[in-house]
Amino acid sequence: MILVTGGAGYIGSHTVRELRERGADVVVYDNLVTGHIEAVGDAPFVKGDIFDKKLLVETFAKYKVDAVVHFAAFSLVGESMTDPAKYYRNNVAGTLSLLDAMLEAGVKYLVFSSSAATYGDTGDGLITEESPQRPTSVYGQTKLMMEQFMSDYDKAYGMKYVALRYFNAAGAHRSGEIGEAHKPESHLIPIILQAALGQRSHIGIFGDDYPTRDGTCIRDYIHITDLADAHIRALDYLENGGKSTYYNLGNGNGFSVKEVIETARKVTGIDIPAKVEGRRPGDPATLVASSDKIKRELGWKPRYDTLEEIVASAWKWHSTHPHGFEK
């Protein structure tokens, strides 16, 4: 049995879907502060906080949990800079509470959602797992600290983990039933699509004076189902005796903000208005992953490998759920 913390959130709920479609037994554990109960569907659900060690230990025993996939975290880079206490408390102290509960209950396997934000500004080239980890945000710092705990817990207590460092998660489940719904929304593709739906007057481009081909920031967009697939492979790997490790997850192709807007215009057939605005503090110019390591070691391969497919998948969700999970 697999317990998924944050299983009502964007990446968590898609991973739960994918796990269940492949016949895995899953229990979702989420405090619903940012998650949506509607995204959980009919999966077994426990409403709880990762700080509630007693409830975690009881849940591990009740469901005979042998592995945890840990998504529960706050994840807004900008907010982490203005309210670091919230991020250190929830992401760092919360993860320690979860790890304590796992130790107490003897749960040995952990797949952990880490981030490209642990690298910070690395320059132009593809980022490999050996690129220096120097986060530029508190959010990235919390994810790096969590990776460090896991490494120490493996050495001392034999807890085995895989940390997955995601680049820019995007798109929605093929069923069209679940997708991205943050409040407030801060991510590029949903905001562009909100502008396409007329919910915003335009998409603001945060800076066009970066050292990139068109001056706007370059990111590596990776489909949510491809991310989900990597979690499943990581779980299989651990349960088959794999040793602790970490992987990047991206497509290996970078797209600029302007290129993403152009793709969205093509996919939606709508001439989405865009305006150049000032830079957003903390944004590195370019973040593109090398995912060779997970391809080589776990046989992972992104199935959505064009930006058109990724944006079309997001559009299917946003155009049919203009208010997310709200009726």
**Residues that bind ligand UFG in the complex, under the rule CB under 6 A:** 75, 77, 115-117, 139, 168, 186-188, 191, 203-206, 217, 219, 257, 280, 283, 287
| 20 or 200: CB nearest ligand UFG | 200
Spatial strand order in the sheet of 45-47: 45-47, 26-30, 2-5, 67-70, 109-115, 160-166, 245-249
Cis bond leading into 184, ω under 30°?
yes
Nearer to ligand UFG, 64 or 280 (CB): 280
Which CB sits closer to ligand UFG, 100 or 262?
262
Interatomic CA distance for residues 196 and 311, integer angstroms: 12
To the nearest whole angstrom, how small is the minimum distance from the Cβ of residue 185 to ligand UFG? 9
Give least dist CB 22 to ligand UFG, A. 26
Nearest Cα to 18, choosing from 221, 293, 260, 300? 300
> What is the phi/psi pair of residue 231, to 5°?
-65, -40
Helix or strand holding residue 113 (H, E): strand 109-115
Nearest residue (CB) to ligand UFG, 109 versus 112: 112
| Contact of 167 with 284, CB cutoff 8 Å | no
In the complex, the smallest distance separating the C-beta of residue 246 from ligand UFG, rounded to whole angstroms, is 15
Is 136 strand, coil or helix? coil
Dihedral sign for Cα atoms in the order 226, 134, 148, 73: negative
Distance in Å, CB of 217 to ligand UFG, minimum = 3
Comparing CB distances to ligand UFG, the nearer of 45 and 74 is 74
- Smaller CB distance to ligand UFG: residue 99 or 285? 285
Q: Are 154 and 160 in contact (CB under 8 A)?
A: yes
For ligand UFG, which residue has the nearest CB?
217
CB of 310 to ligand UFG, least distance (A): 12
Which residue lies nearer to ligand UFG by CB, 117 or 162? 117
CB 102 within 8 A of CB 38: no
How many angstroms from the chain centroid is the CA of residue 73? 10
By DSSP bridging, strand 255-256 and strand 218-219 are antiparallel
Q: Cα separation of 70 and 110, whole Å?
A: 7
CB of 3 to ligand UFG, least distance (A): 23
| CA 282 to centroid of chain Cα atoms | 18
Which of 87, 139, 246, 247 does the annotation list as catalytic? Answer: 139
Minimum distance of ligand UFG from residue 93's CB (angstroms): 19
130-141 burial, b at 16+ Cβ within 10 Å, e below that, comes to: ebebebbbbbbb
* Residue 139 appears among annotated catalytic residues: yes
The catalytic residues are: 139
